[in-house]
Structures are given as C-alpha cells and as structure tokens.
Amino acid sequence: MLNPNLDDIQLSKDDYERYARHIILPEVGLEGQKRLKAASVLCIGTGGLGSPLLLYLAAAGIGRIGIVDFDVVDHSNLQRQVIHGTSWVGKPKIESAKHRILEINPTCQVDLYNTRLSSENALDIFRPYDVVIDGTDNFPTRYLTNDACVLLDKPNVYGSIFRFEGQATVFNYEGGPNYRDLYPEPPPPGMVPSCAEGGVLGVLPGIIGVIQATEAIKIILGSNTTLSGRLLLYNALEMSFRELKLRPNPVRPVIEKLIDYEQFCGIPQAQAEAEQEKAAMQEMTVTELKALLDSDAQDYVLIDVRNPNEYEIAQIPGAVLIPLPDIEQGPGVEKVKAVLNGHRLIAHCKMGGRSATAIRILKEHGIDGTNVVGGITAWSQEVDSSVPQY
C-alpha cells in the first residue's frame, strides 16, 4: 500500500467539480482523490495498451505521469491507439500523448522519456514513480520492466494482447508473484507472432488497457482487491473472462541486477542464425521481380505464402496463393510441387519473413527457392504504389 503524505495536497474548486463522481464514492472519497493527485505513474509505451490507460489515468486525476517511448505515430496505429490522431502521424508518440493528456487534465505533470528502455536507464527512470505500467509488446522489455520493478520494489501492472485475446495482472505487489513466476523463460525468438503479423482487434487493447488503469488506481487507493495473484484472461470473440491463480515460485532465481535482456531472450543468437540462413538463401529485390514479370520468361512460379485474407487486400500479379501454415503442416508442400512442375520457385509474403521460412521448409523437401526481399510491402513502396499497404 502506498502511503503518501497528504498534508500538503489541496484540491482546488475545479478539482471538486471535476472529480465529484469520485469523491462521493465511499471507496474513494476526499482522501482517495488526494492520493490520486499525489501519485506518480510511469507508463512504458504509448501504443495499444498505453493509449487508453493514459487517457483514463489523466481523467482520474493522477498528479504525475511519466511516458517512455521512442516511436512515431503511424497510420496503422490509429485503428487502436486512440490517444493519437491523424494530425500526429509522423510525430513522436510521447508528444502526441502529452498533448492529449493535458487537454484532459491541464494540471497533470507529464514527464517524457523519448528513449528505448534499457538496463542502463531503467532504474533511474523508474525510481521516482509509485506505480509502473507495462504497455510493451516484446519479451526483452517485459523482463527488463519486471526485474527493475523487483529491484526497486515497485508494483508492475501488466497487460498483453494478441488478435482477439488479452491478459492482465499485477506483479510484484505486497509479496505477490512477478512476471518470472508466470514466464520463467522467454519463448524462442519468432515463436510468438507480433500484432503486425497476426493482427489485433482494435477495441481489444482498449479493454485490457482500461483494466490496467483500473488496477493502478486501486493500488494508489490502497485496495486489497487487486489482480495480484490472479491472471485475468479475456477473449473478445467469445466475450468471456476467466482467471488463473498465480503464486510466487519458491525456487525462482533471485533478481540481483539488470542483465542483457536481448541476450537472455536469445535475440542476438537468432539474428546471427538468420543472417547465416539469409547468406545461404537466394534473394531478389522487388525491382528485379518486376523486371522478371515484364520479361517473356516462363521458367518460374511466384508463390504467395500469406494468409487468404491478406491476399484479398493486395496481390502481386501472377502470384499463386499457398499459405505458410499449409506448407508447415505438409499439404502445402505437395501443392508447391504440383504448381512448380519443374519450374524454379520464387516466394513472397508481406515483408519477407514468412516466405523465408517457407523456403527453408521446402528446401528440406528438395525444393530450392528465391525469396523476395521486403515482400509485397516493398512492392507497394518501390514498384506499384496503388497496391495497398496494411
């Protein structure tokens, strides 16, 4: 429980009007609203999760909000990152977020950290804040956030999303479990697809982000009914919630210092292996592919390994759709052999990653192929701008 000194915290006439619906709640009251005004919360990320939780923390009257992010607003963000608007495309997310927060709550102190969170800066950034909220989407930063919170004894409000599913809990709060109790070891790099590859329902991060904001507010108010020790699982497609119990692992390693989290998650090793595979793999650029398509050559077949719904959005002329899952599961390999009929294989996907995977699998079956670097995204950017990007 946070125990701020409330003697110097005064609410203005505007505060009484603005937070009247809070103050009349017995569970909040005048003292609770003062707690919110005295509190400081750090949000890691201003993406899908950070957007709604920052809006509601500001509206609730949090006195100081810190934001860590180094990205800029992209058109593809606007489907779910509701704190940003079209006029902010191409500009820093933290500046966009601050602008919107101050429109909601002009008295809020907003601290901006336009930097990548690292083992070198995390402790210094976290130290001034009462609560840390993890709105990130990658495993190295999640482990870093967890370990820094453990070392500084800060509550860590966690959330994650993918496609139609999300989860939330509170880590490192009053003796409760931390992230390493849920995930002792990170998954192999590339095993968990990103939202850019797998997609995400636009309203999903709104739901999980608001749950995170709710938990942060309850921690500040001193509630004993937080999600600590409970992992909340949400399925938007089924509109269902369920819970899993979490307990501290008595034999988990003691966190004594921050480490190299990229190394811990196996990313440098995976990148080195990918570079070796890339060096051994035949590749072509989209401009080379365009020249080939414009020629009279008949000795090749272009395979598109994206999913059918992606194929509906945009196609490269003449490409034959054989999705990567079909190739991974076996039937697609026979389809490729039948389509090739002795011709050479060229494969593409959205950005080149899945088609490289397909070529590696097909090579195990005696089929050599050439990967299109950058996939259909590069095709749209460099060859045919009328092809939609997604």
Q: Give the residue numbers marked as catalytic.
A: 195, 349
**C-alpha dihedral over 318, 320, 321, 324, to 10 degrees?**
-120
Determine how many CB atoms are found less than 10 A away from the CB of residue 342. 7
First to last CA, the chain: 45
Cα dihedral sign, 289-293-296-302: positive
Determine how many CB atoms are found less than 10 A away from the CB of residue 69. 25
Describe the crossing of helices 204-221 and 50-60 by its angle, rounded to 10 degrees. Answer: 40
Spell out where the chain has E strands: 40-44, 64-68, 109-113, 131-134, 156-162, 165-171, 230-235, 240-245, 282-284, 300-304, 320-321, 344-348, 369-372
Determine how many CB atoms are found less than 10 A away from the CB of residue 296. 4
**In sequence order, which residues have a C-beta less than 8 Å from that of residue 245 and are 6 or more positions away?**
229, 230, 231
d(CA 55, CA 98): 10
Determine how many CB atoms are found less than 10 A away from the CB of residue 79. 14
If you count them, how many residues does the chain have? 390
Residue whose tokens read 């409760």: 176
**HSE-up of residue 253 (Cα within 13 Å, Cβ side):** 9
